[in-house]
Amino acid sequence: MGSIIPLLTEFEKNSISERQALPEKYLGLPDAEMDARIAAARATLGERLVILGHHYQRDEVIRFADFTGDSFKLSRQIATRPKADFIVFCGVHFMAESADVLCAPHQQVILPDLAAGCSMADMADPDQLATCWEELQQMGILGPDTESKSGKAGVIPVTYINSAASIKAFIGERGGTVCTSGNAKATLEWAFERGEKILFLPDQHLGRNTAYYKLGIPLDEMVVWDPHEIFGGLEPEEVKRARMILWKGHCSVHERFTVPQIEAVRRQHPGVRVIVHPEVPWAVVNAADDNGSTEYILKTVRESPAGSVWAVGTEVHLVNRLANEVAPDRTVISLDQFGCLCSTMFRVSPNHLLWILEELVEGRVHNRVTVPDDQKHWNRVALDRMLSIQ
Ligand code: SF4
């Protein structure tokens, strides 16, 4: 007999046991009723509540957010609402974990549906990372004896914010930091001031694109570490020659963008400018006109001259909202004609938001996300480093 939970990621399978499912009475409600009830619950909770909405959320949810942004921007907003007892994070699990680390002790972080994970974050497992670290030591690439004459460490670990709290804790304890797509260049510079090499995880594309396009590191000075292979599937000499050790992970949404799509959009819309998120593959960035974080994409398109036509390579909800916002002065289309949807973000529905808020009004907290105490300290260290690197 097949699995009873088809098409779920490892994270989702693990979290499903603690996930509190949406009660039946919250299914099938008319949109107008949900809107009115969410607004009413929000008003009742007042300053005790803050709702954070990631750019990739659907319209029916993000319209209720007090703050919208990418992971980095939302992380920064937490400190601005000290009176809020409840931080409802309309995003995915790793974002809620970071919020739990950064918030004050009296604040509780809630993810409306605990099955909202991230397939990229699932690609780096703490046991795999511990094994990688040990194997790098066995290869003679890191450890106290391998410090170079310059006094730098052998390897500085850097994890993208799209990773589990356990990964961030491991990295923080070993002198590393967390990065976002917005501060990736500054983060790599920070790490190269401290180490000869960078172990970058979980997104190989963000690591490669930032190192190549922003720092000018040649591709032959980068290797890909496959956590499913012994010694990452690499020879010690290959790793010794490399400056970037890229974890073999990716975003299943952004990997769908391709060079043929760019060629097609240029044929169909002469003069179009193509802008992509750096989670897309290297060749796609190479064929595009520009690349950057979601915040960078928004700013660039908003500030472009009237009449500009843009093809945007990132999650479709952001693209559609941007298209509506800048029309009719500018035209925005998705680089993928079918629109790349983040299906895990999509799990947070207005029904879930309504249920969570009405239960909070009644004094009941569901789907709280907490980072274990033994991981909190080093998480905080890693995230504070991230917030200090611009
Ligand atoms: S878009 Fe990709 S990286 Fe972002 S949450 Fe979805 S799966 Fe994760």
Give the model's pLDDT for residue 146. Answer: 54
Residue 216: Cβ-neighbour burial (10 angstroms; 0-12, 13-18, 19+):
exposed
Residue 101: what residue type? V
| CA atoms 91, 97, 99, 105: torsion sign | positive
Pick the residue whose CA is nearest to atom 3 on ligand 1.
Answer: 251
Atom number of ligand 1 nearest to Cα 315: 1
Give the model's pLDDT for residue 75. Answer: 80
The single residue listed with the structure tokens 């957010």 is: 65
Measured between its terminal Cα atoms, the distance across the chain in Å is 51
Ligand 1 site-directed mutation target among 9, 119, 180, 206, most atoms within 8 Å of CB: 119
Containing H/E element for 53? strand 49-54
Give the model's pLDDT for residue 152. Answer: 86
Per-residue tokens: 27: 């299914």
For residue 342, how far is its CA from the centre of ligand 1 (angstroms)? 6
Pick the residue whose CA is nearest to atom 2 on ligand 1.
Answer: 251
Instruction: Give the orientation angle of helix 316-326 with respect to helix 294-302, to 10 degrees.
Output: 20
For residue 240, how far is its CA from the centre of ligand 1 (angstroms)? 31
pLDDT by residue, tens only, the chain of 390 residues: 333 333 444 444 444 446 778 999 999 999 999 999 999 999 999 999 999 999 999 999 999 999 999 988 898 888 899 999 999 999 999 999 999 999 999 999 999 999 999 999 999 999 999 999 999 999 988 765 555 566 788 999 999 999 999 999 999 999 999 999 999 999 999 999 999 999 999 999 999 999 999 999 999 999 999 999 999 999 999 999 999 999 999 999 999 999 999 999 999 999 999 999 999 999 999 999 999 999 999 999 999 999 999 999 999 999 999 999 999 999 999 999 888 899 999 999 999 999 999 999 999 999 999 999 999 999 999 999 998 997
Phi, psi of 333, rounded to the nearest 5 degrees: -130, 160
Instruction: List the alpha helices (DSSP H) in the chain.
Output: 10-15, 31-45, 59-62, 71-77, 93-102, 126-138, 165-173, 184-194, 204-209, 236-241, 259-268, 282-287, 294-302, 316-326, 350-361, 373-388
Give the model's pLDDT for residue 340. Answer: 87
CA distances from 184 to 53, 97, 133, 206, 366 (A): 22, 20, 22, 8, 34
